[in-house]
Amino acid sequence: MSSEQGTLPHVVVIGGGFGGLRLARRLRRAPVRLTVVDRANHHLFQPLLYQVALSVLSPAEIAMPIRAVLRAQKNARVLLCEAERVDLAGRRVELFDADSLDYDYLVLAAGARTSFFGHDEWAEHALGLKDLDDAIEIRRRVLLAFEQAERERDPQRREELMRFVVVGGGPTGVELAGAIAELGRRVMARDFRQIDPQQTKVVLLEAGPRILPAFDESLSARAAAQLESLGVEVRCRAAVSGIEPDGVRLGDGFIPTWTAIWAAGVRASPLAESLGVALDRAGRVPVRADCSLEGHPEAFAIGDIAGFVPEGAERPLPGVSPVAIQQADLVAANIAADLRGRPRKAFVYRDRGIMATIGRSRAVAQTRRFRFGGWLAWLAWLLVHIWFLIGFRNRVSVMASWFWSYLTFKSGARLITGTCLHPRVRRELEQQGRAPSRTCRE
């Protein structure tokens, strides 16, 4: 770092997701020193994470190293570590296994984590989907379920192996349920000899009265019909009361399954808890009109960690990428305005609509003026998501993978990594006093 750079205001960005990375790039010509801190070395395109989980795409197709993205940005450096706590009064960020960082401006863009609504014990038996590790584990478990079913002699256990339960009827849950159904009924239909993957059963559970509650009611109904055409059983008003090693409990009912996937809720990053400010029910940090924290105009929060309530609204904005990106643009502009001695602007969200894909040529989309579904919505979803991918190589790679999958019904990333034992099989072997097999690389 040059002595001249050392005198510039220091902007610390916690998180390299949509908001954090967008803000860093917006400040590329600003007279500041910029430090981006993230516990992963890559930017992740989360809307396509479920496609990694269900073997459509490989991890490298939806992720790109943060250093590569910011390589040409001379005023930026990247630190691979995790922020432990923030000292707002001292303007300092304390890091795990690294020196603390003093800042002139702080931008919290640390995202969210899976929330089990106070039942953290369910995490042992249900798979969340927030990062690449989660996606790879879901892929492993789903593929292992089919492999175990192929050699299972007990018809009841085989049926449980081929039954998948997805909890949560929001976009992630809908996308996962549709993708699992397509994987079993179409992609893997001819890969096995003892089982028929077309007999795959997917159950989608939603505690509310309908799936996709953020969408127009007509689109929710259309999405449910499209899921059912894929063989997905959609159950609304089905609140989960327990997730156990061998299934999901609903009040007095029970759904036996070897694979339960949780897509029902998220909570802001635990970093918010270190701020010493009152948080909302989802653990988000309340912010002012300019996205700064009350009493700390030099500290901002954007994206999933921010609880921004628009004027006249009752609820905070949703934790979706367009919100984070637009907030990043606003905060970058306000930091630049401070440096020039100009007044800040207030954040105004421009809602360009929402989309959810349900399967091959199936999707729903909603804007202020239009409601549509089917192939046209799927094509719009495809183009929008590819456009936002970081890097030209990623766009080309994802388009090629999707085109090949569309034409052939083949997925190119059906790899089982790690142990070849399903966790339930491992537990059963251990209970019998048998050492788990190590015939696969572990």
Contacts of 362 (CB under 8 A, 6+ apart): 178, 226, 229, 230, 373, 374, 375, 378
Catalytic residue among 175, 206, 228, 311: 175
Q: Catalogue the E-assigned strands of 302-417.
A: 306-307, 354-359, 362-366, 371-373
**Residue 375 burial (CB count, 10 A):** 12
| Distance, CA of 383 to CA of 402 (rounded, Å) | 11
DSSP-H helix ranges across 230-353: 321-340
Whether 175 sits among the annotated catalytic residues: the reply is yes
Q: Largest Cα–Cα distance of the chain, in whole Å?
A: 74
**Residue 150 burial (CB count, 10 A):** 15
CA distances from 21 to 131, 335, 351, 373 (A): 16, 15, 21, 32
Q: Can you read off the two tokens belonging to residue 78? A: 């990247």
Instruction: Find out whether 310 and 350 touch, Cβ atoms under 8 Å.
Output: no
| Distance, CA of 157 to CA of 161 (rounded, Å) | 6
Q: Can you read off the two tokens belonging to residue 139? A: 């892929």
Residue 103, classified by CB atoms within 10 Å of its CB into exposed (0-12), middle (13-18) or buried (19+), is buried
| Distance, CA of 243 to CA of 118 (rounded, Å) | 13
For β-strands 285-286 and 201-206, DSSP reports them as unpaired
Place of tokens 């432990």: 84
| Distance, CA of 351 to CA of 298 (rounded, Å) | 27
| Distance, CA of 368 to CA of 174 (rounded, Å) | 22
> What are the φ/ψ torsions at residue 36 (nearest 5 degrees)?
-105, 125
Active site residues: 175
